[in-house]
Amino acid sequence: MPGAPGDGTNNQFGGTAENVAMFRYAGSVTMTTQQFAPPPQQRSWAVAAPEGTFTDRADILARIGAVAKADRETAAVVVLTGAAGVGKTAVLHRCAALLRPHFEFAVTADFGPLWPQGGVSLSDALAGMLTELYVDQRWIPATLADRRKRYLSLTEGEKVLVLLDNVHHAAEVLALIPNSRHALVLAASEFSLDDMNVPEESDLAVRADLTPLSGLPEDDAVELLAKICGPARDLGDEGQVRELVGLLGGSPVDLRVAGGRLKTRKTLEVGHLIEELTEELRRAPEEAPRGALGSTNRFDPAYRWLSAPAARMYRLLGALAAPAVPIRIIAAALGVPGEEAGLLADELLRVYLVEELPTGFRLPGAIRRHAHRVARQAADESEAMVEEAVKAWVADAADADYAVNANRLRVTDARRAGREPLCTSSRAAMDWFAANHDALLAVLRTADAGHWDEQTWQLFEAMWPFYSTHKLLHAWREAGALAVKAARRSGPPRVEARIRCYLSRAYVELGEFESAHTELVRARELTEHDEEVKYFASVLDFLGKAKYVEGEFAEALAVYRESLRLHEQIEDRRGIALQSQFVGRCLGELGEHVAALAAFDRADELLADSGDARTLSQIATSRAAVLVALGRDAGAVASLHRAVEIAGALGTVALIDKPLELLADLAHRYGDAEAERTYLRQVCELHDRTGSPRAAEFRRRLDSLTS
């Protein structure tokens, strides 16, 4: 293998033949980058398909279509307002399907999944939208202001469709308007958003079209009800059918629930259903959230019709503030086998009280509030079920955590013996964390509210692999603060220290170093007398990282050396290797290159048989920078090719661009234009694919070589 550890041959090439030998692996780099993210030319269309039973709304669809196709000076904004259940989300998705030929990109944000325990922050919504635009997590800025600047830069002049659901405030819409006159923003809200229009003197001169959305017209409502019930179901007297859809206000959600009951209960007459609903609507309506439109008591008849086990599942979903709940969590919470839980879900699906998503089962907005109300009415039972659901979720997160890295230091093993493993690979586990993050944050909030302290900090610890590699910094900070509070109440000192360390890294990523050091000082106090030295050594590791990021390399070196000494004391081979790597980085920054190279070689040797490809690739890149400083360029090139080879096999974009950049720089120094172009093409491709803000910089450099 080229560039074996310690290859520090001091070769200074001056001729073409030697340059070819030095960069002889340049042509093979192409093979390592084919497996990564979609190219920027591919359209991002992160929108679910519309419902198959969608009916009418022709006037609104036509109006929105005209707005989308019109020539205008600024982005257009259309806000659909109306009570829960009138079909706002369905209209958004139908519009996206109809308008797809007119836009290159469609991005989405839903501010409602975590109701009623807080919502999705605007900053995290922007992070999600940047991800949908193929921006790698490394390039997503930490602050809301910088994320918005990046969003505006990426959308400048582009044909972008933005779908915003469950909006609560006008600011959520205004902050997400793209920087393009070709853009269209479609937002849906239960709130009036009277302050939506931007003042004329604003730099963002957008006038919003506020469009109230009511129930379907009578004929269309009758058509939708017939579609739901199917041709085999005779609904009887047409006058009664029209009376029923009028009673329901033409609400698509209500019509689906009523139609589901009529379809599954062949003996239920429309007249009897009208009597049930009329009785419910005579009652005082439940108070809706302040400023929202509509109430939920109209779902009582459908709820009372459910079998007792299905009604229990419905209450469970209402008590869980999560965007979707997997069937294995439902089964664990109800204490039933998975097959039985699946049958209960089928019963709820047949009457349209739940929706099935790839990540689990979800209650539609208006129904979710009803389910939350009936769950509160059975508070003791609901609390017990929710606690079991939280424990099951923690166990799943722990499974995923171990799939990412079974050997990292933890203060507990929250996995459940006898359960089928959730993930079988690191990549699958990280995908699971990404798909379920909003649900996990909701679960963590639920655990905190229920004072289930052990589950709170265990879940946060299990989420460390995801948070440490993604940029959901505000969610990370919130989750960490809740976990620290729980650990302080319930855990031994080492638990609190460990959780504070995880939280400190979020502060470091946010640039809030004072807060980071507050957490780390307390963590150090909690572990410096711990009989298990590894916990104190780990605190020093986190402290060294904070110092290193701040640019205080001498202080970071002292901390890392102390951590290294402790790992040597307990003969922790992996710990010794990692701390040696960090010591080497600090020495390199301080100009002590020979000592740095020795530290890297020690780390590499200790990890040679570990299978830790990520760390081995990072060591190879760090060693190369030191070899360049020592004038050992041939060894640096070999080490960089080794880093690329390892990272390519791992499929990690974050590890491959830096060595390629260094290789391009070295090729430029030696005047090898062919090798430099080869490396720069790969660098440009990776930066383009990952939405890097440096993409244009490297593209200009490549163009200068080919012009």
Give dist(CA 69, CA 181) in Å, integer: 11
Chain centroid offset of residue 630 CA: 42
Chain centroid offset of residue 361 CA: 18
Tell me the pLDDT band of 295, cut-offs 50, 70 and 90.
low
Tell me the pLDDT band of 195, cut-offs 50, 70 and 90.
low
The arithmetic mean of pLDDT across residues 193-215, rounded, is 54
Residue with tokens 């009578």: 218
Lowest mean pLDDT among 51-55, 77-81, 359-363: 51-55
CA distances from 149 to 126, 144, 227, 334, 506 (A): 10, 9, 46, 46, 21
Pairing of strands 355-357, 360-362: antiparallel
Does residue 553 register a pLDDT over 50?
yes
The arithmetic mean of pLDDT across residues 110-114, rounded, is 70
Q: Work out the burial of residue 5: count CB atoms within 10 Å of its CB; fewer than 13 is exposed, 13-18 middle, 19 or more buried.
A: buried
Cis peptide before 116 (omega within 30 of 0): yes
The arithmetic mean of pLDDT across residues 515-529, rounded, is 96
User: Torsion-angle region of residue 418: left (phi > 0), alpha (psi -120 to 50) or beta?
Assistant: left
Tell me the pLDDT band of 55, cut-offs 50, 70 and 90.
low
pLDDT at residue 305, as a whole number:
86
Give dist(CA 139, CA 153) in Å, integer: 13
Q: What homologous superfamily is domain 58-212 in, according to CATH?
A: P-loop containing nucleotide triphosphate hydrolases (3.40.50.300)
Q: Helix axis angle, 426-449 relative to 379-404, nearest 10°?
A: 150
User: Each residue of 226-262: pLDDT tens digit?
Assistant: 888 888 888 888 888 888 888 777 778 788 888 888 8
Does residue 284 register a pLDDT over 60?
no
Lowest mean pLDDT among 142-146, 203-207, 570-574: 203-207
- Backbone φ and ψ of 333, nearest 5°: -70, -35
Give dist(CA 485, CA 264) in Å, integer: 48
336-372 burial, b at 16+ Cβ within 10 Å, e below that, comes to beeeebeebbebbeebbbbbeeebbbbbbbbbbbbbb
Give dist(CA 257, CA 351) in Å, integer: 5
Q: What 8-state DSSP symbol labels residue 688?
A: H
Does residue 578 register a pLDDT over 70?
yes
pLDDT at residue 98, as a whole number:
87
pLDDT at residue 56, as a whole number:
66
Tell me the pLDDT band of 209, cut-offs 50, 70 and 90.
low
Does residue 554 register a pLDDT over 90?
yes
Domain boundaries, the chain: 58-212, 218-303, 306-377
Does residue 676 register a pLDDT over 50?
yes
Does residue 202 register a pLDDT over 60?
no
Please choose, from the candidates 450, 436, 429, the residue with its C-alpha nearest in 3D space to the C-alpha of residue 386.
450
Helix (H, G, I), strand (E, B) or coil at 78: strand
The arithmetic mean of pLDDT across residues 407-419, rounded, is 87
H-run or E-run covering 586: helix 573-589
Give dist(CA 81, CA 556) in Å, integer: 54
Assess contact for 437 and 475: CB atoms under 8 A.
yes
Tell me the pLDDT band of 695, cut-offs 50, 70 and 90.
confident
Please choose, from the candidates 176, 172, 125, the residue with its C-alpha nearest in 3D space to the C-alpha of residue 154.
176
> Is pTM beyond 0.85 here?
no
Residue type, 89: T
Q: List the structure tokens of 602.
A: 């020690």
- Backbone φ and ψ of 76, nearest 5°: -105, 145
Helices (H), 320-378: 327-334, 338-350, 365-377
Residue type, 450: G
Does residue 475 register a pLDDT over 90?
no
Tell me the pLDDT band of 120, cut-offs 50, 70 and 90.
low
The arithmetic mean of pLDDT across residues 192-221, rounded, is 60
Give dist(CA 554, CA 590) in Å, integer: 7
Does residue 43 register a pLDDT over 90?
no
User: Each residue of 320-351: pLDDT tens digit?
Assistant: 888 889 999 999 999 999 999 999 999 999 88
CATH top class, domain 306-377: mainly alpha
H-run or E-run covering 63: helix 58-69
Does residue 27 register a pLDDT over 50?
no
Q: Which residues contact 500 (CB under 8 A, 6 or more apart)?
A: 484, 487, 519, 520, 522, 523, 526
User: Each residue of 429-466: pLDDT tens digit?
Assistant: 988 998 899 889 989 999 999 999 999 999 999 999 99
Please choose, from the candidates 620, 632, 561, the residue with its C-alpha nearest in 3D space to the C-alpha of residue 590.
561
Residue with tokens 């039933």: 336
H-run or E-run covering 362: strand 360-362
Please choose, from the candidates 623, 614, 663, the residue with its C-alpha nearest in 3D space to the C-alpha of residue 28.
663
Does residue 208 register a pLDDT over 60?
no
Helices (H), 450-492: 453-462, 464-467, 473-490
Residue type, 133: L
pLDDT at residue 206, as a whole number:
45
How many alpha carbons lie under 13 Å from residue 521 in its C-beta half-sphere?
A: 6
pLDDT at residue 54, as a whole number:
65
Give dist(CA 98, CA 65) in Å, integer: 8
Q: Which residues contact 642 (CB under 8 A, 6 or more apart)?
A: 1, 2, 3, 4, 617, 620
User: Each residue of 613-671: pLDDT tens digit?
Assistant: 888 999 999 999 999 999 999 899 999 999 988 877 666 667 788 899 999 999 998 88
Lowest mean pLDDT among 76-80, 83-87, 188-192, 591-595: 83-87
Does residue 51 register a pLDDT over 70?
no
pLDDT at residue 41, as a whole number:
47
Does residue 149 register a pLDDT over 50?
yes
Tell me the pLDDT band of 686, cut-offs 50, 70 and 90.
confident
pLDDT at residue 119, as a whole number:
56
User: Torsion-angle region of residue 631: left (phi > 0), alpha (psi -120 to 50) or beta?
Assistant: left
List residues bridging with 110 in a β-sheet: 165
Q: What 8-state DSSP symbol labels residue 44?
A: P
Chain centroid offset of residue 399 CA: 18
- Sign of the alpha-carbon torsion through 188, 193, 195, 200: positive
Q: Which residues contact 251 (CB under 8 A, 6 or more apart)?
A: 83, 85, 86, 87, 215, 216, 366
CA distance between the termini of the chain: 35
Average pLDDT, the chain: 83
List residues bridging with 81 in a β-sheet: 189, 212
Q: DSSP characters for 498-542?
A: HHHHHHHHHHHHHT-HHHHHHHHHHHHHHHTT-SSHHHHHHHHHH
Give dist(CA 158, CA 181) in Å, integer: 8
